[in-house]
Structure 1
């Protein structure tokens, strides 16, 4: 019986050591296998985990708009006082974003069009779309800006055109619907009438998102990820171009990264993943801020660096956004007039967050707060899915003094905030459960197998070693006790 126990203990020790070694070997092999399976599942291919979420996003996407209502129009126009505003909002729209004409190309790329439809959500809004605000007369100021450096007779004709309509004033009252989706402008109507005589078609409507609802912004081609997971979802071309032509340097004209809703898998804290925002006419980057979580899922939070819209002396990469070349906006803004038909608009963070203090002080009622106005993107590190995001940007208009026009002859130059928006999304409870059950839990169990194997092997080895030790000790005691008894007997004899 003792020999059987001894042999069993030896076998158990060997088995335990083998189990430990197997567990140690499994750690890198299983990691490679899991990473391979993840890379396969995040490839844009019909039937994969990511493809289903990409082609028809399951998370609700909201656009929240916050408008700046002018409080002192008379004081501004008659006494040249600083503009005072109050923020009103949010006015929220649900964004339905669907991929159309999805084409898998032979070179492992995917082409598609993305149709965006905005639906007003009254329950998430402070008021109806019919709410009105006193805001800048964008068309009039754009017209003044356009002819700023033209011949004097053109300026005189522009002044006469402005005087011929009722809306020849610095401020106009418009509704949410009109500001965003368009309205018939009296100046544009007048221009249309004049051009009609010459047979030139002209649109007499204006809105910041005019004719964008229910439409796509062009043909996109992106990397499917089959060649390398590191380039997954990267935009290769937009409307047939792999570069923009708005800016003055190649770096600024580059279309970098993804669309910001998905990133490549295995994101690191040291990464600075870029994304391209077509409505803002540029690519932007984010940097790691902290670890966070939502619905119990661990995430990496990325935010814009503070100098994302910094002047070239703060961020040399922004030199190309100075248009015309060498003409830069104050730090914290960049001019998008080159991609918005010459309109004197600029982009900044909400409430001019991180902008020059002179810009912030230019309008009374502006209060930048980092926790309220900072953009962030929360990413699942392994698969690169964005589960929560708030991308916040502000549309501003430069109001400039111009002695050729009575309305702005004595006005103080100011960057006026028209509105800011927050494009937000967060994973739903159902999808969080789905991600946990289909990905996190299986991967967690698989990842634990080597360590369970090592633990079990160590335990078996330890117990078996104790058994062997006790068997050896018992054998020694028995061997020592036998001669003792014999000696005693001989003595007695």
Structure 2
């Protein structure tokens, strides 16, 4: 062997004892030691015994280095590269940029930026891709450092182990294992990406469906409500009229009649779209009597206060005494007392004909122009497009949180009340964009010329759908008694016209009539007026409630309940108005309940949407689990293949060692001779 390799200096052969020969043989694999020349053997042994630098220590120094004050990014990168000679510096620096360290970007191994400025463009492109992919939030990546650190290093590790270009003497991974690990990485990437962004994607789709525009899902529902709406009307019949007219010191007794149920059809007409993300429209409503759902007939007679007499008296309460006496004489020409008996149909829709209305219509200088020739709670409202007024509503296209909010009503951004009570707030009830844990909502009621606040009252379940319920509390119609911000519903100088808590004065909204709105049966009202009436039975079932599905904003159930009352006070000079024993009474006239509940069709639609919302993430989690299993399977197969190769190499090395036994004995004898 030595003659073949032209080795003349035999002094070195003394170092090749049995252990040295074995070491040299192992280092020369897969070549045989006989095939190596002398210089190559020296290189193998020298390289083996030369101390090596610690990669862990270098990486520690590399990552612990910080940028000094005044140091350029490229200088800092170069300094870091010297701390880790064995590190893959370019890859480390790139990952440090992605993970949110001091931002510099290295495009070349020598840490110099491209002269054509491509580094800046590529940096912007990479950042854009990461933000769009959902790996980095738009406001910064520092919140996602632990997550991204694990993701990046996991992908780098798998790539380094399985997909790097094999060199001579390294293991070659089969295509099947590559597909296993690659598919696993892809499934994990898809699962992580969509599981973290699915909520935002879903809500964006819901917003697209709920924004009010032609062709959207919400537009058809808003334009003509497809859910059955029923209006239930209850009238109070005064049962002791004779005793009251006799001047006896008795309490007024009332009897509740009804309900008289009507099917309501609600449409939006005269729709026009505006450029400022609003839509202008009018309401058109139709009511159809439902005798099979009603408790009574429209021909039932009801006796109550004559609203025409009470309105004239209330309007003239501050006028001169002579004018009051003349008005009293005129009213007594047509009426003998303050009470009026008419059937239910007349009280509600057909209207009660009263000659005094014709007379009043010819008197000039009145503060209000009365556009009716009859009195009825819904007179001329059936099919009218002008009763509720002209609305301008926000479509939510510019800001989804403003969806459904009333921007203008009757060509104004204010109502008849002063200060903040006259501000337009809330929606008409069809469209909602609830915020998380919203404490209250506001519903704008055109009949009251103001909004009604409903406070959060808890969670409910309607047709299997979870929702949040809002209900009226003691803040509704408070007038500033408990809640100072409600004081603007009274005059700035509070007087007798400011009602006790629980009743709202809507006379300025109803042509000067002494109309006051409460909850049914005086629910939650101060006891001053309810104590003067017998036959009332307030309970929680009379409360105003609304349930909303918070994610889709779909109204689940509405129980809108209000009561109309007439204020009758003794006024000097108006004897026909002063026939009640008590000089200050709030007489209940009628109350209504408008019931709406989501039907099965729309409930199933909402269930499907919520199922997609909460079900899809589990599918993405399954992607991640399958991806992990594929990667583990691929790595296991690679490890199994590697162990087999190691065993084969061990067997080959053992056989080679045994085959060189005679040569080793020859070397030992040669050493002994020397």
| Band of TM-score, shorter chain | 0.7 to 0.9
Gaps of 5+ in 1: 483-493
- Secondary structure at the residue paired with 1:279? coil
Name the residue aligned to 1:263: 432
Distance 1:350 1:116 in 2: 23
- Secondary structure at the residue paired with 1:357? coil
- Does residue 248 (structure 1) correspond to residue 418 (structure 2)? The answer is yes
The correspondence of residues 182-221 of structure 1 with structure 2, limited to 5 A, is: 182-191=351-360, 203-216=372-385, 217-221=388-392
Name the residue aligned to 1:305: 473
Distance 2:637 2:223 in 1: 62
Distance 2:339 2:230 in 1: 29
- Secondary structure at the residue paired with 2:389? strand
**RCO higher in 1 or 2 (8 Å CA, sep ≥ 6)?**
1
- Aligned residues between the structures: 473
2:404–2:432 contact (8 Å) kept in structure 1: yes
Name the residue aligned to 1:108: 277
State which of 451, 454, 466 in structure 1 corresponds to 2:621. 451
The correspondence of residues 31-46 of structure 1 with structure 2, limited to 5 A, is: 31-46=199-214
Distance 2:637 2:467 in 1: 49
Name the residue aligned to 1:49: 217
Distance 1:261 1:312 in 2: 29
The correspondence of residues 47-446 of structure 1 with structure 2, limited to 5 A, is: 47-77=215-245, 78-165=247-334, 167-181=335-349, 182-191=351-360, 203-216=372-385, 217-244=388-415, 246-249=416-419, 251-264=420-433, 266-323=434-491, 325-327=493-495, 328-370=498-540, 372-407=541-576, 408=578, 410-437=581-608, 439-446=609-616
Distance 2:527 2:243 in 1: 23
Residue by residue, what CA displacement relative to the aligned partner does 1:163-202 show, whole Å, maximum 9, x if unpaired? 211x33122212222112211014324545888xxxx998
Distance 2:619 2:178 in 1: 25
Residue by residue, what CA displacement relative to the aligned partner does 1:406-458 show, whole Å, maximum 9, x if unpaired? 34165341211111111121122233234444x33444443433333234445
Q: 1:34 to 1:156 in 2, by over 3 A?
A: same
Structure 1 residues 122-131 or 318-327, which shifts more? Answer: 318-327
How much has 1:404 moved relative to structure 2?
A: 2.7
Q: 1:375 to 1:49 in 2, by over 3 A?
A: same
Distance 2:371 2:173 in 1: 98
Q: 1:57 to 1:404 in 2, by over 3 A?
A: same
Greater radius of gyration (CA): 2
Residue by residue, what CA displacement relative to the aligned partner does 1:85-110 show, whole Å, maximum 9, x if unpaired? 12121111111111112112222221
Distance 1:269 1:201 in 2: 45
1:192–1:203 contact (8 Å) kept in structure 2: no
Distance 2:370 2:232 in 1: 34
Q: 1:36 to 1:201 in 2, by over 3 A?
A: closer
How much has 1:355 moved relative to structure 2?
A: 0.8
Looking at secondary structure, tell me which structure has more strand per residue.
Answer: 1
1:136–1:172 contact (8 Å) kept in structure 2: yes
Q: 1:124 to 1:436 in 2, by over 3 A?
A: same
How much has 1:460 moved relative to structure 2?
A: 5.3
Gaps of 5+ in 2: 1-170, 652-674
Residue by residue, what CA displacement relative to the aligned partner does 1:89-147 show, whole Å, maximum 9, x if unpaired? 11111111111121122222211122111211212211222212111111112222222
Distance 1:101 1:277 in 2: 20
Distance 1:35 1:365 in 2: 50
Structure 1 residues 45-54 or 8-17, which shifts more? Answer: 8-17
1:323–1:335 contact (8 Å) kept in structure 2: no
Return the TM-score normalized by structure 1: 0.86
Distance 2:458 2:230 in 1: 24
Q: 1:456 to 1:417 in 2, by over 3 A?
A: farther
- Secondary structure at the residue paired with 2:532? coil
Moved over 6 A (4+): 3-11, 461-465
Q: 1:71 to 1:323 in 2, by over 3 A?
A: farther
